[in-house]
Chains A and B, each alone.
Chain A
Amino acid sequence: MLSINLRRQPHLFFILLLLLLLVSTRSGLTQDASTTPTAPVTANDVRDVADELWCPLCSGVRLDACELKACEQMRDVIAEKLTAGEPKETIKDYFVAQYGPQVMGEPPMEGFNWLAWILPVVALIGGGVFVWQRTRKMVVAPDAETEAAPAVSPDAYQTQLDEELKHYD
């Protein structure tokens, strides 16, 4: 009754989940760290950095989209620093040191804020394990019904008949 693939099925899901979680820790646009620009700094270079910072006064507004004076000042500072040849990561670190972690748009992975990241993962995996255990007990426990279940028939007419009967509403 149980075909060969099934044993591997649940594990596949978890491996896929883990893979995807690892692989997507770098989401969004792929950017390399800017090197020292030899050309004058353009508004576009500033926007490139501002794209990855968040307005510290608003909630959820990206720095390049914010029209407040404080944000304009921040963009001016970015322009100055880019002209001085500082790479993007250094500029971002500067703002975190100067203004605080709210410019990063995500909780830093330290102290209490670890909880922000860990809890969803723990809850998801914990819940998944719980569901899987319950399912396993049902699947593995011998049940008079399941042994009587007939094999699948790929007959088209049979399929059609089952479709109609089963999904009549």
Chain B
Amino acid sequence: MTETTNPLSGPEATAQPGHRRAVRLWQGVFVLILLGFVGLLALRLVQTTQSEQRADGAAPAFTFTTFEGETITLDDLRGKGVVLNFWASWCDPCRDEAALLEATWRREQANGIVFIGLDYLDQEPAAKAYLEEFAITYPSGPDLQSAAARRYGIKGVPETFFIDPQGNIQELVIGPIVSQAKLDELLDKIRP
């Protein structure tokens, strides 16, 4: 018994040109999907290598309610230099910069600079205790649902964003700021 080979077996046996078009179409779709995937990978790679230079472009909007009940949005602060500090009560390095931030806030609040503290992945009682310990008076509140944190792409705390009066991020510091000189230098970039 011999086996017959059938080179045109299967659905290709009929309607050759139409079928070829269909095959080309599917090939095109496949290539596009792969291009999309690779494109996103490339974009992601660029994003991660630039993560230290996230200081670019417009600062993402955010809204939060302070522990005292006041609601603040980033838009309200247009025209002022904003120091946006992400912190948490369980974060040890945050404690290293707390006093410096508060002292500088007191010095600068009349100069059109505003300090904002967004509490990341935290609980109110512990947060309030932390604020009391360092006598923090600048507006601080919980970042509910980590909404702002996710938009600012933070990977941990403390991270501090320096936003100019036009609403653009000028600088980003990852880790605690411990030098007054360095803080002053950064503040100069966002003075109104």
Contacts and interface: CB of A to CB of B under 8 A. Distances in A.
Interface of A: 56-57, 68-70, 72-73, 77, 96-102, 134, 137-138, 141, 143-145, 148
Contacts of B91: 69
B92 to A, nearest CB: 8
A145 B10 CA distance: 13
Contacts of A68: 90
Contacts of A148: 1
Interface stretch (B79-87, B145-153, B173-181): B145-153
A79 B83 CA distance: 36
A145 B126 contact: no
A73 B145 contact: no
Contacts of B90: 68-70, 72-73
Given A73-B126, A102-B146, A148-B1, A57 B121 contact: yes
B68 interface: no
A100 B4 contact: no
Given A70-B121, A73-B90, 11 more contacts: A57-B121, A69-B92, A73-B122, A97-B144, A98-B123, A99-B145, A99-B146, A100-B146, A102-B146, A144-B4, A145-B3
B144 A137 contact: no
A68 B121 CA distance: 12
Given A57-B121, A70-B88, A73-B123, A98 B145 contact: yes
What 9 A-B pairs are tightest by C-beta distance, nearest first? A69-B90, A100-B146, A100-B145, A137-B11, A70-B90, A70-B121, A99-B121, A56-B121, A73-B90
A7 B146 CA distance: 54
B144 A98 contact: yes
Given A57-B121, A70-B90, A73-B122, A100 B142 contact: no
A138 B11 CA distance: 7
Contacts of A69: 90-92
A77 B1 CA distance: 78
Nearest to A134: B11
Contacts of B144: 97-98
B16 interface: no
Contacts of B13: 141
A77 B145 contact: no
Given A134-B10, A143-B6, A57 B156 contact: yes
B49 interface: no
A5 to B, nearest CB: 24
Contacts of B156: 57
6 contacts: A69-B91, A73-B122, A100-B150, A137-B11, A141-B10, A148-B1
Interface string B122-147: 11001000000000000000101111
Interface in B1-43: 1, 3-4, 6, 9-11, 13
Contacts of B121: 56-57, 70, 99
Contacts of B1: 148
Nearest to B26: A130
B145 A97 contact: yes
Contacts of B149: 100
Contacts of B92: 69
Contacts of B88: 70
B50 to A, nearest CB: 20
